[in-house]
């Protein structure tokens, strides 16, 4: 059979060729081929059939006619019997009537069937290993014996089962066969009670069962019952035996119990074989577990390598851009300082402006990184998409150039989007620049917004709900599938060196997800690109307008006192200087603990300005602790990086505001005047 498996043509079969078999199947096949008794394997959903030479002899059929075929087609009776194995259950039937599918006919037979599931590395049941034993002769002999109900010595001696006839309440041996004598290891037992012949049975429960059968007249049967027998001599060691046994009451014509007939089979060898099979299965499972653990560890190493590669790419991109920015800042300020030391003021303003431009570039890079990481503080408000797009008309046309036709469609303005309008403007502008670069020879750029309702069946687009969809389409070169798979990765760009940072689309992706929406891109080479930016619908009926107070804040009271809590010395000094310019008095604290001491004191405070990311006690924790003492104190939070719990909260209280670093001193003054109005 091993040679036949190797030589067989498996083309079109439910199983691959043996060299391609998975490890559990190869291991089970090795056990099957080495088994001396009939053994077979069923594998997969089709229950493809494999067998050994003894199985082929049992079926009396050429293996070529059934190898690899579904078990249901070859042997329907056995297929039905093995059904529980698919759910992980083992099957054991010591005497099962089956129709043997031999060549041209079905033959009735009695088989002992033992089947165990074969599992994959992940523990899923993939098939079954089945061991068979033809017990037809044994079963038929025993059944004939009980049908005749005649106690003849020749019948006792010829039957393969062990038989003993006991009489009376003391269970005295009246008739035994050679198989029984061989089992108990004694010869001269006729006429003696069982308690005298087999005293070792005391305490094992079997004598009590015999008494119950004699009293009740009800038979008893058990499979693979464990007995400890002292065979051969009274001083021999106890020996473990497993028996399939029946205690049948012997009755006279009136139904009175005269004794008990003992009949059964010694199945110790079978139990040992099954135990060996279980040990092999456990060893197989241990081997599979070890290989699964090796695979898991290898996978973890691969994932770690991928993470390190991505981190290296991210670090390299940031370092490249920041080195250029720092060169612009340091170089411009160095030239300005040199001019001042020389007593010259010409061009110093130009150098300072260049340094400020580089600083603004740095702020924009950090802004994009935080948006990609979903850590950029947002100021969401109801936004009318069509109106915002229309307001950008001149900016968009100047940005993309005259060689590109810009079409801004009115869209459907029945719904308002809930998002940060500045972030949305930045996202649209970035998409327009990408579209321009994809149409170097000219083309058409279309931008519009529309209402979209996402249902449960469209969850790959986003969570079910109402959205405003901003569409940006171009007629440019389009993108390949490989490019589409990487467009949201930081610093991935198809543009030439120096023409793009690769942070535009990642920033838009972060903005969309942080706003509760999503972004999707449809593109193909030569077919242009369409970007759909889904933003959640605002439940507010009216748009939020900037208040006149923010545009023209009143002057602050000249005697007002402001507490500034900031661990960065330079930032704290700049903020304090700006407050002095406004005519405000200041108190300073270097961390949250020092700030809380002042907040819990009796000192006058009219405004608190605090960084969020303070060492130890952070700014938000400090404010929450101080609210018990100063519940109405206005608070202005400063942050360069907002922690997740801040971004996921509903937003600052009515007398609290947030300003994002880096900020201009003019913006800081406007926020202060707004809070103290």
Q: What is the pLDDT of residues 192-216, one digit of tens each?
A: 999 999 999 999 999 999 999 999 9
User: What is the pLDDT of the chain when averaged over all its residues?
Assistant: 82
Q: Which helix (H) or strand (E) holds 118?
A: strand 105-119
Residue 263's pLDDT band (boundaries 50, 70, 90)? very high
Q: How far apart are CA 578 and CA 668, in angstroms?
A: 8
How large is the average pLDDT for residues 393-398?
Answer: 80
Cα of 157 vs its chain's centroid, Å:
65
Q: Which helix (H) or strand (E) holds 465?
A: strand 465-474
Q: How many CB atoms lie within 10 A of CB 371?
A: 25
How large is the average pLDDT for residues 482-490?
Answer: 79
Residue 234's pLDDT band (boundaries 50, 70, 90)? low
Which residue from 533, 501, 486, 536 is spatially nearest to 516, judged by alpha carbons? 536
The size of the chain, in residues, is 677
Query: Residue 246 class from Cβ within 10 Å (0-12 exposed, 13-18 middle, 19+ buried)?
Result: buried
pLDDT at 635 over 70: yes
pLDDT at 80 over 60: yes
pLDDT at 275 over 80: yes
Pairing of strands 172-176, 91-102: unpaired
pLDDT at 317 over 60: no
pLDDT at 377 over 80: no
Q: What is the pLDDT of residue 412?
A: 60
pLDDT at 2 over 80: yes
How large is the average pLDDT for residues 75-101?
Answer: 91
Residue 219's pLDDT band (boundaries 50, 70, 90)? very high
CA gyration radius, the chain: 44
pLDDT at 243 over 90: yes
More confident residue, 643 or 513: 513
Q: What is the pLDDT of residue 545?
A: 39
Q: Which pair of structure tokens corresponds to residue 327?
A: 């060169």
How large is the average pLDDT for residues 509-537?
Answer: 89
Q: What is the pLDDT of residue 552?
A: 35
How large is the average pLDDT for residues 487-498?
Answer: 64
Q: What is the pLDDT of residue 397?
A: 84
Contact partners, residue 411, CB within 8 Å, separation at least 6 = 385, 386, 389, 448, 449, 450
Q: Is 159 in contact with 148 (CB distance < 8 Å)?
A: no
260-264, 281-285, 605-609: segment of lowest average pLDDT: 281-285
Distances (CA, A) of 411 to 247, 384, 435, 471: 90, 10, 20, 10
Q: What is the pLDDT of residue 208?
A: 94
Q: What is the pLDDT of residue 426?
A: 80
Query: Residue 33 class from Cβ within 10 Å (0-12 exposed, 13-18 middle, 19+ buried)?
Result: middle
Q: How many CB atoms lie within 10 A of CB 192?
A: 15
Q: What is the pLDDT of residue 209?
A: 94
How large is the average pLDDT for residues 484-495?
Answer: 72
67-76, 144-153, 259-268, 418-427: segment of lowest average pLDDT: 144-153
Which residue from 286, 246, 244, 290 is spatially nearest to 267, judged by alpha carbons? 244
304-318, 335-349, 541-555, 573-587: segment of lowest average pLDDT: 541-555
pLDDT at 562 over 90: yes
Q: What is the pLDDT of residue 194?
A: 93
Q: How far apart are CA 470 and CA 451, in angstroms?
A: 9
SS3 321: helix
More confident residue, 428 or 356: 428
Q: Which helix (H) or strand (E) holds 99?
A: strand 91-102
Give me the helices (H) in 149-245, please.
Answer: 153-158, 178-184, 194-197, 206-216
pLDDT at 318 over 90: no
Q: What is the pLDDT of residue 549?
A: 34
How large is the average pLDDT for residues 49-65?
Answer: 92
Predicted TM-score (pTM) of this structure: 0.37
pLDDT at 497 over 70: no
Q: How far apart are CA 582 and CA 553, in angstroms?
A: 12
Q: How far apart are CA 251 and CA 214, in angstroms?
A: 10
Q: Which helix (H) or strand (E) holds 318?
A: helix 268-341
% of residues, the chain, pLDDT over 90: 31
pLDDT at 82 over 60: yes
Q: What is the pLDDT of residue 149?
A: 46
How large is the average pLDDT for residues 595-622?
Answer: 91
Q: Please give the sequence-ordered ranges of beta strands (E in DSSP) within 120-238, or none if there are none.
A: 125-134, 162-167, 172-176, 220-229
More confident residue, 317 or 433: 433
More confident residue, 166 or 255: 166
């Amino acid at each position: 059979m091993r040679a036949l498996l190797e030589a067989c043509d498996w083309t079109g079969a439910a199983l691959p060729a043996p060299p391609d078999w998975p490890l559990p199947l190869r291991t089970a096949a090795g056990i099957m081929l080495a088994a001396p008794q009939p053994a077979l394997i069923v594998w997969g959903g089709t229950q493809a059939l494999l067998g050994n030479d003894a199985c082929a002899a049992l079926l009396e059929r050429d293996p070529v006619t059934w190898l690899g075929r579904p078990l249901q087609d070859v042997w329907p009776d056995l297929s039905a019997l093995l059904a529980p194995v698919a759910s992980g259950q083992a099957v054991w039937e010591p005497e099962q009537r089956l129709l043997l599918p031999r060549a041209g006919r079905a033959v009735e037979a009695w088989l002992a069937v033992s089947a165990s599931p074969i599992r994959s590395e992940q523990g899923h049941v993939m098939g079954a290993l089945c061991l068979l034993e033809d017990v037809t002769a044994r079963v038929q002999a025993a059944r004939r014996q009980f049908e005749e109900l005649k106690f003849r010595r020749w019948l006792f001696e010829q039957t393969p089962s062990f038989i003993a006839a006991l009489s009376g309440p003391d269970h005295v041996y009246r008739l035994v066969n050679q198989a029984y004598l061989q089992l108990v290891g004694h010869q001269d037992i006729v006429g003696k009670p069982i308690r005298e012949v087999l005293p070792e049975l005391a305490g094992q429960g079997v004598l009590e069962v015999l008494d119950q059968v004699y009293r009740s007249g009800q038979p008893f049967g058990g499979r693979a019952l464990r007995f400890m027998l002292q065979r051969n001599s009274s001083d021999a060691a106890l020996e473990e035996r497993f028996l399939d046994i029946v205690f049948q009451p012997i009755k006279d014509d009136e139904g009175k119990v005269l004794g008990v007939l003992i009949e059964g089979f010694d199945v110790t060898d079978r139990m040992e074989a099954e135990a060996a099979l279980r040990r092999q299965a456990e060893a197989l499972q241990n081997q599979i577990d070890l290989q699964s653990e090796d695979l898991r560890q290898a996978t973890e190493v691969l994932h770690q390598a991928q993470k390190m590669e991505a981190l290296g790419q991210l670090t390299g991109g940031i370092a490249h851009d920041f080195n250029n920015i720092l060169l612009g800042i340091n170089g411009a300020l160095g030239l300005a300082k040199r001019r001042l030391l020389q007593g010259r003021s010409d061009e110093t303003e130009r150098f300072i402006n260049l340094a400020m431009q580089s600083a603004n570039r740095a702020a924009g890079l950090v802004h994009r990184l935080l948006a990609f990481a979903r850590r950029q503080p947002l100021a969401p408000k109801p936004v009318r998409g069509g109106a915002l797009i229309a307001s950008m008309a001149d900016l968009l046309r100047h940005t993309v150039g005259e060689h590109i036709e810009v079409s801004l469609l009115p869209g459907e303005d029945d719904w308002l989007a809930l998002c940060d309008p500045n972030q949305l403007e930045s996202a649209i502008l970035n998409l327009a620049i990408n579209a321009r670069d994809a149409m170097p020879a000219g083309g058409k750029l279309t931008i519009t917004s529309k209402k979209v309702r996402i249902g449960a069946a469209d969850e790959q687009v986003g969570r079910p709900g109402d959205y405003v969809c901003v569409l940006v389409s171009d007629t440019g070169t389009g993108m390949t599938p490989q490019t589409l798979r990487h467009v949201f990765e930081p610093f991935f760009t198809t543009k030439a060196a120096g023409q793009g940072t690769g942070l535009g689309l990642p920033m838009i992706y972060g903005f969309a997800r942080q706003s509760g929406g999503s972004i999707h891109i449809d593109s193909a080479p030569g077919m242009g690109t369409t970007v759909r930016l889904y933003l959640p619908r605002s439940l507010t009926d009216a748009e939020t307008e900037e208040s006149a107070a923010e545009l023209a804040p009143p002057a602050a009271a000249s005697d007002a006192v402001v507490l500034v809590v900031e661990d960065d010395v330079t930032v704290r000094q700049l903020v304090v200087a700006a407050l002095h310019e406004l005519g405000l008095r200041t108190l300073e604290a270097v961390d949250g603990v020092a700030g809380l001491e002042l907040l819990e004191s009796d000192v006058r405070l009219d405004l608190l300005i605090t960084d969020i990311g303070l060492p130890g006690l952070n700014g938000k924790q400090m404010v929450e602790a101080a609210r018990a003492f100063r519940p109405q104190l206005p608070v202005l939070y400063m942050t360069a990086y907002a922690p997740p719990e801040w971004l996921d909260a509903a937003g600052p209280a009515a007398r609290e505001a947030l300003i994002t670093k880096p900020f201009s001193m003019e913006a800081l003054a406007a926020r202060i005047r707004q809070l103290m109005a």
